Amino acid sequence: MSTNPVNIFIAYAREDESYLKELRSHLRIMERRGHANIWYDGEITAGESWDEAIKKKLKTSDIFLA
């Protein structure tokens, strides 16, 4: 049985970046197994529109973590 990975969008305050790192470490096993695609603003590449990238990922996310 093959399922599509869950798209997870993570929003966080800059002062909580240590919690983001901890959460990402817990979710990494899901990523490695192909069960989840995890995104946060640190995935925005140089030259990419910050606003457009966030809106696109929000629209395609299955789970929003704040």
List the Cα angle 5/10/11 in 5-degree steps: 160
List, in sequence order, every residue forming a beta bridge with 65; answer none if it has no partner: 10
pLDDT in tens, 2-54: 689 999 999 999 999 999 999 999 999 999 999 999 999 999 999 999 999 99
Average confidence (pLDDT) over 56-66 = 97
- What 8-state DSSP symbol labels residue 14? G
